[in-house]
Amino acid sequence: MSAVPLMSVEDLSVEFRTRHGVVRALERVGFSIARGETVGIVGESGSGKSVTAFTVLGLLPPAGRVTSGRAVFGGLDLLTASAGQLLEYRGRELSMIFQSPRTALNPIRPVGKQIADVLERHANLPRARRRDRVLELLARVQIPDPERRYHAYPFELSGGMCQRVMIALAVACSPALLIADEPTTGLDVTTQAGILDLLGDLSRTAGMATIMITHDLAVVAERCDRIVVMHAGHVVEQAPARTLFARPRHPYTARLLASTPRAGAKLADLTPIPGAVPDLRGETTPCRYRTRCERAAAVCDRPPLPREVVAPGHVVACARPL
Amino acid sequence: MALLRLAGRRLALAVPGLLGVIVVTFLLNRALPGDPAAFFAGPAATRQAIEEIRARLGLDKSVPEQFVYYVRDLARGDLGTSLTTGQPVLRDLATRLPASLELTLAGLALAVTVALPLGVLSATRPGSWVDHLARVVTTAGVSLPIFFTGLLLVYVFYFLLGWAPAPLGRLDAFSTAPRQVTGFFVVDAVLAHDGALAWAALRQLALPAVTLGLFAMAPIARMTRASMLGVLGSEFIRTARAAGLAPRTVLVTYALRNALLPVITLLGMVFSFLLGANVLVEKVFAWPGVGSYALEALIASDYAPVQGFVLLMATLYVFLNLTIDIVYGLVDPRVRIEA
């Protein structure tokens, strides 16, 4: 890992004001990503993976509020940057792809035009070159017959095809960081592999760092350098992928691994994680996994939540790690 | 190409509708109370005189026979003769239709120019003073009956303030109509390079157009707001923002174009409402349009103009809906494919 990370998120806390009180969606979240690195953020629904991504991009809905923390990207704190600065960064330096690609594209604008819009905004290309560049991009994300697809509308393309368009749109200006939020959810399995391979290819050839957000450990297992495990708005463990799979230290990570199907495993070997993501309204316990944890003890109720570096690059937020 | 096919198909689909309208208007008019022959013969007429008029009008024939004659005349472009004006109905309608269209289009244009930006503003700033103002204005616009708004405007701007001319038609007594090109006095006066006349016509048009506009504004502004709010919360707007597109591009090219789809449909409906609402507004402002013409004919049990009016409106609706379909197809590619 290089000395200066591409982006480092530190101490990030986010609250949502809802009709039923304040929800502390993120609490002191921290992780970093180096140039060209691929980091997986893993967790159940509601663990705060997507909120982290939206916060970094400045796309939190109006009800959300950053209460502490920094997200330093190339020397700029994205959380205190002006709207104008963020606009310059988004799409050019860091961009994002979403799940359900079909609805994430403008339904009444040809897909080629949508990519051209991004180029028009960020890339200093003459009008005539822009079209060629879009065709190049479509070819690069392996869309057959780019010339014809340029004029296609999202409803005329398959889900996988739309996700390829989405990727072309996101990498149009060769960003340094791409955040992929559940990029394969809702696609069929063969398409999933294709999309993930494409993302891996692009990041390798362009030296683009990638944050892969997913609830599926199997997806990130062989494709990520490092993995950040989130639970109920906390980062509970982060480690190099190999270490995490070989020797998880947080009870939640261990449970997550046990509930993920592997080759050669029997269905009976899969164990679900007991309980559900806790209610994050109002006051919460220091460790938010406490009520679901089989190792919970009195020490777990003592604030603050410890963050122990158990090995280089391996951090566990647990009072009684495995 | 797909668009032409769409237009052709919609046009073909309109034919049965028009046939239905012909039958219904005919029957409706026969079912109206009152005896036109007696009405036109006058109170002093003898029974024999009334019978003569009845025979001349063809009203002594059986209803199916009358219908056959009616359809035959229609096919020849003969809508009958008005008993009140003594003119062929077709000619009456042709001279009066531009007045109604001018008024309706002016009202609609006014409503759209105010309501669209108002709807967009209140959607981008929900809960702000613009939003509240929009809500008050639009609620007032729909809750007041249209003839009342008209009378109120006349009272304030003509009687109290004296800013508007007397509500007595399309031009004041001292002006003469411009040479007819479009039939819209304001446009024709401008084409004739007569600034003073254009101004005079515009002054006459202002109050009735505002009356119609106020009425039409409410649904357009509400629909724009609701539709904009929905679209602004959708995923592709988030994508556009994540790609760092300029806020203007996101708002206009991405959000507004999508938000306009239901508004276009609504515009067609509002236009139809306005054609109907015209009848009252024309009466209040002595506007010589087809609405007031039909109303007077109806009171006089004068069948032919009423039939002609309903037929004209039905035809207008058909073409209006066709236009809406085509515009919709231009904006939304998904509609083109279905055709």
Within an 8 Å CB–CB cutoff, is residue A140 touching chain B? no
CATH number, domain at B123? 1.10.3720.10
Please state the CATH superfamily assignment of the domain spanning residues A7-82+177-190+210-316 in this structure.
P-loop containing nucleotide triphosphate hydrolases (3.40.50.300)
Percent of all residues in chain B with a pLDDT value above 90, rounded to a whole number: 23
Asked if residue B28 has pLDDT above 90, the reply is no
Which residues of chain A are within 8 Å of residue B252 when distances are taken between CB atoms? none
What SS3 state is found at A239?
strand
Which residues of chain A are within 8 Å of residue B331 when distances are taken between CB atoms? 108
Domain that holds residue B200: 96-290
pLDDT average, residue stretch B62-78:
85
Same domain, B116 and B246: yes
- The H or E element that residue A309 is part of is strand A308-311
What SS3 state is found at A247?
coil
Same domain, B195 and B268: yes
Cβ separation A107–B239 shorter than 8 A: no
Burial of A68 (0-12, 13-18, 19+ CB in 10 A): middle
Instruction: Tell me what the pLDDT averaged over chain B comes to.
Output: 85
* Domain tally, chain B: 2
Rounded to the nearest angstrom, the minimum Cα separation between B3 and chain A is: 16
Rounded to the nearest angstrom, the minimum Cα separation between A250 and chain B is: 33
Going through B229-318 in order, the beta strands assigned E by DSSP cover none
Nearest-CA neighbor of A108 among A149, A166, A153, A159? A153
- The predicted pLDDT at position A3 comes to 65
Same domain, B207 and B311: no
CB A15 within 8 A of CB A67: yes
Which residues of chain B are within 8 Å of residue A88 when distances are taken between CB atoms? 244
- The tokens describing A62, both together, are 């109006």
CB-side neighbour CA atoms (13 Å) of A189: 1
Q: Give one DSSP letter per residue of A206-226, joined into a string.
A: HT-EEEEEES-HHHHHTT-SE
**What phi and psi, each to the nearest 5 degrees, are found at residue B317?**
-60, -45
- ipTM value: 0.88
Same domain, B197 and B269: yes
pLDDT average, residue stretch B33-54:
78
- The predicted pLDDT at position A157 comes to 92
Rounded to the nearest angstrom, the minimum Cα separation between B248 and chain A is: 12
Cβ separation A122–B244 shorter than 8 A: yes
Within an 8 Å CB–CB cutoff, is residue B242 touching chain A? yes
- The H or E element that residue A311 is part of is strand A308-311
pLDDT band per the 50, 70, 90 thresholds, residue B337 = low
- The predicted pLDDT at position B325 comes to 82
**pLDDT tens per residue, range B93-105:** 998 999 999 999 9
Residues in contact with B154: Cβ distance below 8 Å, sequence separation at least 6, in sequence order:
B164, B167, B207, B284, B285
Same domain, B183 and B310: no
CB B171 within 8 A of CB B204: yes
- B149-172 core/surface letters (b: 16 or more CB in 10 A; e: else): bbeebbeebeeeeeebbebebbbe
Give me the residue label for tokens 């008993």. B83
Does residue B295 form part of some domain? Answer: no
Q: What is the DSSP letter of B254?
A: I
Same domain, B80 and B30: yes
Residues in contact with B255: Cβ distance below 8 Å, sequence separation at least 6, in sequence order:
B228, B231, B232, B237
Which residues of chain A are within 8 Å of residue B244 when distances are taken between CB atoms? 86-92, 95, 118, 121-122
Cβ separation B246–A89 shorter than 8 A: no
Same domain, B204 and B332: no
Asked if residue B33 has pLDDT above 90, the reply is no
Cβ separation B235–A100 shorter than 8 A: yes
**What phi and psi, each to the nearest 5 degrees, are found at residue B242?**
-65, -25
CB B29 within 8 A of CB B306: yes
Cβ separation B243–A108 shorter than 8 A: no
Residue A213, strand partner residues: A41, A181
CB B284 within 8 A of CB B151: yes
- Measured CA to CA, the distance from residue B137 to residue B135 in angstroms comes to 6
- The predicted pLDDT at position A108 comes to 92
Same domain, B263 and B335: no
**pLDDT tens per residue, range B301-332:** 787 888 888 888 888 888 888 888 888 888 88
pLDDT in tens, chain A (322 residues): 456 889 999 999 999 998 888 899 999 999 999 999 999 999 888 889 999 999 999 988 888 999 999 999 988 999 999 888 898 899 999 999 998 888 999 999 999 999 999 999 998 888 889 999 999 999 989 899 999 999 999 999 998 899 999 999 999 999 999 999 988 887 888 888 888 999 999 989 988 999 999 988 887 888 899 999 999 999 999 999 999 999 999 999 998 888 887 777 777 777 888 887 788 887 788 888 888 888 888 888 888 888 889 888 899 999 888 8
pLDDT band per the 50, 70, 90 thresholds, residue B166 = confident
- The predicted pLDDT at position B1 comes to 64
Chain A residue with CA closest to B328: the answer is A108
Nearest-CA neighbor of B125 among B221, B223, B229, B220? B229
Chain A residue with CA closest to B333: the answer is A108
Same domain, B265 and B224: yes
Burial of A228 (0-12, 13-18, 19+ CB in 10 A): buried
Does residue B91 form part of some domain? Answer: no
Q: Which of B236, B254, B334 sits opposite A104 (nearest CB)?
A: B236
- The tokens describing A95, both together, are 């961009």
pLDDT average, residue stretch B105-115:
93
User: What are the distances in angstroms from CA A208 to CA A17, A35, A173, A219, A308?
Assistant: 35, 7, 11, 19, 30
Does residue B8 form part of some domain? Answer: yes
Rounded to the nearest angstrom, the minimum Cα separation between A90 and chain B is: 5
Same domain, B186 and B282: yes
User: What are the distances in angstroms from CA B55 to CA B43, B51, B78, B223?
Assistant: 18, 6, 19, 54
Same domain, B273 and B139: yes
Quickly list H helices, chain A: 49-57, 83-89, 111-122, 127-140, 146-149, 159-171, 189-206, 217-221, 241-246, 251-258
More confident of the two residues A44 and B2: A44
- The predicted pLDDT at position A1 comes to 46
Extents of the domains making up chain A: 7-82+177-190+210-316
CB A229 within 8 A of CB A253: yes
- The tokens describing B48, both together, are 């024999």
- The predicted pLDDT at position A8 comes to 93
Asked if residue B338 has pLDDT above 60, the reply is no
Residues in contact with B209: Cβ distance below 8 Å, sequence separation at least 6, in sequence order:
B103, B106, B107, B110
Cβ separation A153–B333 shorter than 8 A: yes
Cβ separation B253–A117 shorter than 8 A: yes
CB-side neighbour CA atoms (13 Å) of A236: 32
| Ramachandran sector of residue B186 (left: φ over 0; alpha: ψ -120 to 50; beta: rest) | alpha
Same domain, B111 and B77: no
Within an 8 Å CB–CB cutoff, is residue A121 touching chain B? yes
Cβ separation B239–A105 shorter than 8 A: yes
